[in-house]
Structure 1
Amino acid sequence: MNCKRGDVFFADLSPVVGSEQGGVRPVLIIQNDVGNKYSPTVIVAAITSQIEKAKLPTHVEITAEEHGLDRDSVVLLEQIRTIDKQRLRDRITHLAPELMKRVDDALQISLGLIEF
């Protein structure tokens, strides 16, 4: 499976435990492209269409119209996980560099790499 950082794929995230995001849903590839090329696994962030969820500094909104999604959605940078590439299904889109900058900022907050 060929994937690049910034790609959005459908992925099957089940089974899950507790409050983990599950089911077949869009995910954003956040792993670097060297890892994407050579590793059988990939690091992703879950995406939800429940945009009324609490607005956290770890959330990045993406519009359906501009990104080929069914509904406006939110990338949940507090819901990151490593999955096997076999969980990836169809590629949906690739996020623009400006949006990935917002993803990077939210990811730094999520991982405690910067003070918020």
Structure 2
Amino acid sequence: MNTYKRSPILRGDILYAELGAAAGSEQAGFRPVVVIQNDVGNHYSPTVIVAPLTSNIRKNILPTHVHVGRESGVRPSLVLLEQLRTVDKCRLGDKIGHVSKSVMHQIDAAAAISLGLRSLQKDKV
């Protein structure tokens, strides 16, 4: 998408990305995404780990969803942490905004649930 020299991509940035065609319930097309990958990876890797956003906030809310809004530079949306994906930087478009630290903590928790790193229920001893 972009061939010009871009600003550094940072964890928590919200950018447009071309996600391509969908199969089934995958998010697709040109849409906002939030950068999940760490800043070292963002600097050196040709790819970035992102989570897509949807403005369809009426859908079933899952523990892997996080609300973001105008304070992050986007209209009210959900970050879909069950749809994490790695994209090449050439798929990234313009930066729209950046999530706050408190929203990033919510994103971290939802990603941990999505990846099975954190249980929805307390572990029994």
- Count of residues paired in the alignment: 114
Q: Report the Cα distance in structure 2 between the residues aligned to 1:99 and 1:31, rounded to whole angstroms.
A: 15
Equivalent residue, structure 1, for 2:25: 19
The 5-angstrom pairing of residues 50-69 of structure 1 reads 50-63=56-69, 65-69=70-74
More strand as a share of residues: 1
Which entry has the higher C-alpha Rg, 1 or 2?
A: 2
Normalised TM-score (structure 2): 0.88
Contact 2:72 2:100 in 1 (8 A): no
Q: Does 1:32 align with 2:38?
A: yes
Measure how far apart 1:15 and its partner are: 2.3
**Following superposition of structure 1 onto structure 2, how do residues 87-106 of structure 1 map, counting pairs within 5 Å?**
87-106=91-110
What is the distance in 1 between the residues matched to 2:64 and 2:118?
12
TM normalised by structure 1 equals 0.94
**Unaligned segments of structure 2, at least 5 residues:** 1-5, 121-125
Residue 49 of structure 2 is aligned to residue 43 of structure 1: yes
